[in-house]
Structure 1
Amino acid sequence: MTLKTKKIVSTILKYTVLIFVGVFMVYPLLWMISATFKSNNEIFSGIGLIAKEPTLEGYKKAFQGFGGDINLIKSLINTYSYVLPKVIFTIISSVITAYGFGRFKFKGRNFLFSVLMGTLFLPQVVLNVPQFILFNKLGWVDSPLYLPIIVPTLFAIDTYFVFMLIQFLRNVPVELEEAAKIDGCNVVQTLVKVIVPMLKPAIVSCALFQFMWSSNDFMGPLLYVQTPSRYPAAYFVKLSMDADNGFQWNRVLAVSLISIVPSLIVFFCAQSTFVDGITAGGVKG
């Protein structure tokens, strides 16, 4: 077998494996989409993708309200009314914190950084009770502005993003900041005009992670949102599961699919920058 033939065979094998794995991973999503057009009985009759008797009943019921002045559209508006501020505040606070730890020497820096990294090992479940007590005393529970969900992001509470940005910052030459200082830039101008553009791939990655995690968050709204008219999409999906009358799975799947569409659109629009940020942020220059 010649070298050219070996290369062709190797390429065919690699693409065959990739296609098989890709289909295996994407199939549940495709089945979910097809199931929204099936009746409740047909959903459990097989795993085929083609609906024998297509129906839009699931989508019609998806837009029905459940009382309390809440419906699917309103729940989506509620979701992104706190998701977008969370993304913005997370990026601002994480960039500032990462820049401080990554470029400045100050007393107690190593200790504070160790404490910061130590918070990565704290599961959110152990923080729920003290946080709820704190926000309840502040009167923020069931705030119309979603204060318990948004305000903590002003203080760089997502340590993973800070760590990612610090790793990426190590690849940025210090000489660029020195040149900016010679040109008369202060610390803030250097951060905004030099560091932030260099950190763009990592910032986009952090923004995407926060966007998807916040959009899918169920525990936060469950604890801090009590008024039905303010329920987000994650909570509305749970409401669509009516245990008293039996689950109408085509409606549940239709609600779930519509609620994840914005996240899918945002992810695919920023996919290339997202991959660059993940790969570059994990390598120290």
Structure 2
Amino acid sequence: MSLGKKKIISTVLRYAVLILVGLPMVYPLLWMVSATFKSNTEIFSGMGLIPKTFNFDGYKNAFNDFGGNINLLKAMINTYSYVIPKVVFTIISATVTAYGFSRFKFKGRDVLFAILMSTLFLPQVVLNVPQFLLFNKLGWVDSGLYLPLIVPTLFAIDTYFVFMLIQFLRGIPVELEEAAQIDGCNVVQILVKIIVPMLKPALVSCALFQFMWSSNDFMGPLLYVSTPANYPAAIFVKLSMDADTGFEWNRVLAVSLISIIPSLVVFFLAQDTFVEGITAGGVKG
């Protein structure tokens, strides 16, 4: 068998395996999209992807108000009014913290780093009560600015991102910074002009993770947002389920689908850099 035929067979087999593995993963999303065009009866009558009759009531009712001056559009605006600041502040604080731990030697660094890493094993559920008491005493609960959700990200509370950036920084040669110092750069200039551009893949990965996690967060807004007009999309989806009159599942699924579209768009726009950041183990020469 010639080398060309072997390459073709190898490519076909590889794509066949990818398709077989990918279909079970993509099928739930495809079914969700198709179910938005089905009636309740048809949704529970089979698992087919193509609706027998297209029903657009789910999308028509998706933008209805559910009381409290809230609808899907406003809920999505509310969501990204705190998600975007959280992403920005997380990247800034995590970068500064990771740079400090990876490049500077100071008294107690190892102990502080060990304490920082130990917070990875601390479940968020055990922090909910003390954090709520703290933010309530500060008067931040039900703040229109979503202070309990945004302010903590200024202090690098997401240890996973700090650890991820530290690991990436270990692959960046210190000689680059020493050369910049010789050229007259101070610490801030080295961080901004040398380190941050080289951290771009890792920073994009952190930003995407934070964007998706914050967009899907239900417990945080549930604890700290009590005014219906300020509800994010995660809570609005729950509001769209009316247990008294029965669930209109095409509407619920339509609301869910519309609410995740921004996350899907952001992911596909940045997927190349995201994959590079996840797989990168050092600096390419």
Normalising by the smaller structure, the TM-score range is over 0.9
Q: Which residue of 2 aligns with 1:67?
A: 67
Q: Which residue of 1 aligns with 2:136?
A: 136
8 Å Cα contact 1:161-1:206 kept in structure 2: yes
**Partners in 2 of 1:7 and 1:86 — Cα distance?**
47
Matched residue count: 285
SS in 2 for 1:184: coil
Q: Which residue of 1 aligns with 2:9?
A: 9
Q: Which residue of 1 aligns with 2:173?
A: 173
SS in 2 for 1:132: helix
How far the C-alpha of 1:40 sits from its partner, in A, is: 1.0
How far the C-alpha of 1:24 sits from its partner, in A, is: 1.5
Can you list the C-alpha shifts for 1:113-167, whole angstroms capped at 9, x where unaligned? Answer: 0000000000100110110011011110000100000000000000000000001
How far the C-alpha of 1:13 sits from its partner, in A, is: 2.2
Percent of paired sites with the same residue:
80
- Greater shift, 15-24 or 124-133, is seen at 15-24
Can you list the C-alpha shifts for 1:89-108, whole angstroms capped at 9, x where unaligned? Answer: 00000000000000000000
How far the C-alpha of 1:36 sits from its partner, in A, is: 0.4
8 Å Cα contact 2:58-2:251 kept in structure 1: yes
Can you list the C-alpha shifts for 1:26-84, whole angstroms capped at 9, x where unaligned? Answer: 11101100100111111111111111110110001100010000000000000000000
SS in 1 for 2:280: helix
Letter in 2 for 1:39: S
**Partners in 2 of 1:16 and 1:230 — Cα distance?**
47
Q: Which residue of 1 aligns with 2:20?
A: 20
Within 5 A, what are the aligned runs for 1:137-156?
137-156=137-156
How far the C-alpha of 1:2 sits from its partner, in A, is: 5.9
8 Å Cα contact 1:202-1:281 kept in structure 2: no
How far the C-alpha of 1:4 sits from its partner, in A, is: 5.2
Letter in 1 for 2:91: I
Question: Following TM superposition, where does structure 1 have runs of at least 4 consecutive aligned residues deviating by more than 4 angstroms?
Answer: 1-7
Q: Which residue of 1 aligns with 2:238?
A: 238
**Partners in 2 of 1:22 and 1:280 — Cα distance?**
23
Within 5 A, what are the aligned runs for 1:1-285?
5-281=5-281
SS in 2 for 1:68: coil
8 Å Cα contact 1:164-1:282 kept in structure 2: no
8 Å Cα contact 2:171-2:282 kept in structure 1: no
Letter in 2 for 1:23: L
Letter in 1 for 2:211: F
Letter in 1 for 2:134: L
Query: Does the C-alpha gap of structure 1 residues 126 and 282 become closer, same or farther in structure 2, counting only changes over 3 Å?
Result: farther
Letter in 2 for 1:81: S
How far the C-alpha of 1:282 sits from its partner, in A, is: 8.1
**Partners in 2 of 1:165 and 1:282 — Cα distance?**
11
**Partners in 1 of 2:29 and 2:282 — Cα distance?**
29
8 Å Cα contact 2:172-2:282 kept in structure 1: no
Letter in 1 for 2:86: K
**Partners in 2 of 1:238 and 1:217 — Cα distance?**
12
Q: TM-score, normalised by structure 2?
A: 0.97
Letter in 1 for 2:128: N
How far the C-alpha of 1:3 sits from its partner, in A, is: 5.8
**Partners in 2 of 1:172 and 1:9 — Cα distance?**
40
SS in 2 for 1:110: helix
SS in 1 for 2:143: coil
**Partners in 2 of 1:106 and 1:10 — Cα distance?**
53
8 Å Cα contact 1:141-1:148 kept in structure 2: yes
**Partners in 2 of 1:257 and 1:195 — Cα distance?**
38
8 Å Cα contact 1:165-1:281 kept in structure 2: no
Structure 2: tracts of 5 or more residues without a match? none
**Partners in 1 of 2:220 and 2:208 — Cα distance?**
19
8 Å Cα contact 2:170-2:282 kept in structure 1: no
**Partners in 1 of 2:266 and 2:208 — Cα distance?**
8
Q: Compute the RMSD of aligned alpha carbons.
A: 1.6
